[in-house]
Each structure stands twice: as C-alpha cells, then as structure tokens.
Amino acid sequence: MNEHIDRRAFVSKAWKGGVALIGLAGAWTSWDLLRPRRGPGGGEVRTVAADVVPEGGVVEVTAARAYLTRVGDEIVAISEKCPHLGCRVPFCEQSGQFECPCHGSVFNRLGEYREGPTPRGMDRHPVRIEDGVIFVDTARVEAGPDKGAPETIDEPPAGPSCAGEH
C-alpha cells in the first residue's frame, strides 16, 4: 500500500516537474527570439551595413526603435520616440519628413524641428561602425536639436504630407 502511494506521489511529482521544464523551455525560447540583439558594447544594437543607408533616405531599425539616415559620410541614428509626449513618429516617404500622428509635430529627415508642439528636434543615439556594420547605442540618448535652430540640410518637403495637412 505504502509502496503504491509512494509510486503515485513520485509519478505526480515527475509529471509536475516535466510540465515546469516545458514551461521554462518555452519561456526561454520566447525571450531568446524576442530580445534585441546587442553588440559588443553592451547597450548597443547591431543594425545594418552602413552602405545600406542611402544618401537622402531613411532606414528604420525596429530592434533599436530608431531610424538611420545619412548626411555625406555621417550616419545619424534618430530615436523614433517623439520628444513631445513619446508617440512613435513614422517617416513619411512622400514628403521626406517625420510626421508625428499624435499632435502634428513635423521634423525634417535629420529629425530637426519644423512645426508642432514638440519642445525640440528628435533625439539621437550615438552610432559606431565596425567592419562596415552600424551599431546603435540605445542606452544613451542625446537631446534633439533646439527648436529654434536652423535646419542643417536643405530639403523642403518633397510632396504632400502623409497626414494630409502639411
């Protein structure tokens, strides 16, 4: 009788242990798939090859929650978070500018202020290029350009706003 109870208790514990292991394995796999890929700098996110970022264009890097753009030889990483109240700011291909859908702030391709309630231009992250690959340091945020500062690129809107208002 006692042996029967011991066997039942053992099977029950083994079953619970197996279920717990399967749960842990699933959680580990999910975390491993979803976590941002970090570069050798710890807070850095490995992104794309530098030659993928075209002059005059913008590349979104969702793992870094940032955009990459180029001015000559310089690569600039722009945080996608609006400095006003934190909405994600999409890049409007047809106008060639960033347009915040929440309260209408507009920024040029470098994230410099154009209009709206934002207190400054879009914030930036330091970048580093190693073996032709861009690493974005998402742990460090540099405040965007001053609201009153002149734009450093001469790129007026290329077409109508995605919001249809600018």
Which residues of this protein are in contact with ligand FES, per CB under 6 A? 82, 84-85, 87, 100, 102-103, 105, 116-118
Considering beta carbons, is residue 47 or 118 the nearer one to ligand FES? 118
Considering beta carbons, is residue 112 or 137 the nearer one to ligand FES? 112
Given strand 127-130, what is the order of strands in its sheet? 44-49, 133-137, 127-130
Residue 83: both structure tokens together: 């400095």
Q: How far is the CB of 41 from ligand FES (least distance, A)?
A: 29
User: In whole angstroms, what is the distance from residue 120 CA to residue 112 CA?
Assistant: 8
- Find tokens 């930036």 and name the residue: 124
Give the Å distances, CA to CA, from 16 to 5, 12, 57.
16, 6, 54
Considering beta carbons, is residue 48 or 115 the nearer one to ligand FES? 115
Considering beta carbons, is residue 53 or 82 the nearer one to ligand FES? 82
Q: How far is the CB of 23 from ligand FES (least distance, A)?
A: 39
Amino acid at 13: K
Q: How far is the CB of 77 from ligand FES (least distance, A)?
A: 19
Q: How far is the CB of 117 from ligand FES (least distance, A)?
A: 5
- Find tokens 């690569």 and name the residue: 75
Q: How far is the CB of 81 from ligand FES (least distance, A)?
A: 9
The enclosing H or E element of 135 equals: strand 133-137
Give the Å distances, CA to CA, from 78 to 19, 87, 109, 137.
44, 14, 9, 11
Considering beta carbons, is residue 47 or 108 the nearer one to ligand FES? 108
* Contact by Cβ (8 Å): 144, 111: yes
